[in-house]
Amino acid sequence: MGRRAREISETCMYHIYSRGNGKQNIFESDRDCIAFLDKLYEVKVLYGIEIHAYCLMTNHFHFLMVHDDLGRISKAMQVLLSYHATRFNLVYDRSGVLFGNRFFSVPVENETHYVNLVKYIHYNPIRSKICEFPHEYPWSSYGEVIFPRERKLVDATQLIKNFQNIYGQNKEGMQWFLSKHEHSETLDSIFFEGYDLSSSERNYLLEQIESVYDGNIKQIASMENEERDAHIRKLYFDARIKIRHIERLTGISKRIIKRICNKKV
């Protein structure tokens, strides 16, 4: 059976991520991270890709990439991962597969998904208790976006412009948004902002949602596929939340939600 074709994003934006085979480390030192980012910059320029966010963790990484041809992103990733695996095996005198599967690509469907993915990527080291604030972690794009650096791996101008278009915020406003604790917004404010529901409908939905999920609900869209799909199925099958509500709740399109809920588990 062949591989399933990758989903094409109507917005040309993709959450790209991969992890080590068996969750093994893919970065052992600062030099590994530097070499990886140097190569990322090289393929970004070569294939004309925009990078709006990135984060390197010990055994995985996340990118927010933009290009109207997913094939160009795929070629860039193949070059990057092949280079890193070859270098890693040579430096650490090992052999065999470094990355478990082909890299994952998840379409970013709308503005809600976009802004929460930017925050999700930068909060990886905080969730892993490596640091307390995003600016303290050296291997993410947060510092490059907020504080000027010599090399511009991230297309910070376009990222800031997107935030201005969505929220009317300048760079300082975006910094405030990204620096807020990821659970600082209540479920009520996240879900019901601009949503016309009666108080009884609001209370019912809140009770059902909280029965199966107690985190920041909008972060579901930015999770890895397996974890994301499990939460979507719980909302749909266990909490009996309608697909149109899940779409509004998470920012994930109806098409993807229907595909997830029709899957055999």
pLDDT digits (tens, 9 = 90+) for 155-200: 877 787 777 776 666 666 667 666 655 443 434 444 444 445 555 5
| CATH no. for 13-179 | 3.30.70.1290
Picking from 130, 40, 237, the residue whose alpha carbon sits closest to that of residue 138 is 130
Picking from 200, 199, 239, the residue whose alpha carbon sits closest to that of residue 217 is 239
- Ordered by start, the domain boundaries in the chain are 13-179, 187-262
Place of tokens 């479920």: 187
Q: What is the mean pLDDT of the chain?
A: 82
Is residue 246 within 8 Å of residue 252, measured between CB atoms? yes
To the question of pTM greater than 0.95 for the whole model, the response is: no
pLDDT at 187: 41
- State yes or no: pLDDT of 106 exceeds 60: yes
The torsion angle over the Cα atoms of residues 180, 44, 77 and 3, rounded to 10 degrees, is: 90
pLDDT at 48: 97
